[in-house]
Structure 1
Amino acid sequence: MIDRRDALAGIVAMFGSQLFAPIARAAGAASQQAFGVINTGPPTVQVFTPAQKAVMIALSDRVIPATDTPGAIAAEVPQYIEKLLADWSEPSDRVPIIAGLDAIEARSRADYKKGAAAVTPAQQDALLTLAMNDTIPGGAAFFEPFRQMVIVGYYTSEIGITQEREYLPVPGQYDGAFLYSKVNKVYSS
């Protein structure tokens, strides 16, 4: 069975040189087997205010929502993000994430008269789109690192590895005419 450490070490290639620095640090440490498991225990420092944490949780759920498989919340991605930022980031790495959450909160209050954690999923998607398109202050600096943390947190979690993906050490025989419509899950080895 693949574990988070192995998955994290292998994820570096997916993002290449654009990998968010704390993820790269954790992946480097995981590949050297120099540290313990990075997703256990409480964060060593408080990264988010309660309001920022609520927004981060809500937006994590919008990046990978629950469908026929569990989403980011069930995979404990918000806890992973908080632990990653607390224990594997420099203070300067946290600045765009915190500024982005604050900018999204301010835009939500201006546009919807509610905090970003309390608006509808469609409105949260619109707020994330504004960040992605860099139409809110610090949007681009926030969006890509945040998206990477959610994706890495999800696909290195037990849920991501065992329920979203199907682990087949030997995927079976080759069939060059296998219909794509018969593929249920992405195969991983």
Structure 2
Amino acid sequence: MTVSHLSVFTPLKAELPPQTDLNAIIVDLADDHVAAPDGRDQEALAAIAAEAREHGIQLDIVVVQGNPGIEANLRDLANEVGTIEHGTVVVFSDDWVGTYSDQFSRGRLEWAEDKAKYRGPDHTTEAARVFLDRLEQPETVSWTVITLVILGMLIATIGGLYLVKVRRAQRETDVRPPQIPVA
């Protein structure tokens, strides 16, 4: 039996959720930046997308029925839509969320996703509102600033310990009585 280890490094093809027509989604997004089956929550979701755009977030909202086999399919769909539409794309299923953005970091998107998940099929508008609210919140933690402060404290501590060591060594040489050679 021969095993090829090269297949481990081959990226998997993006899988869209079952019964997903990417072209139909792109056409549906054209009028109000919302693509939802059977127009479900269309007006409310369009209002959220419009509000996001007023605040500088180029948001497109896609809703799919049910939950796909795996949650990653929603991110794959968001990526496919995002490469065409650009901006930020959020895809909602009954319980999961997938996102793409060329404006926000993956960490920020996932932070916003976490609160929008598991709302159920009848609460897509609520989930979209939560997602947008989280994106609009100012970042409260600047990891760059925190890292620089910790690094500065570390350098000050090392410098302080070095000064203590130098002073201690000087005191020891000043306190020692002179050595008288014995003949």
- By the TM > 0.5 criterion, same fold? no
Larger radius of gyration: 2
TM-score range, shorter chain: under 0.3
TM-score with structure 1 setting the length: 0.21
Larger relative contact order (CA 8 Å, sep ≥ 6): 1
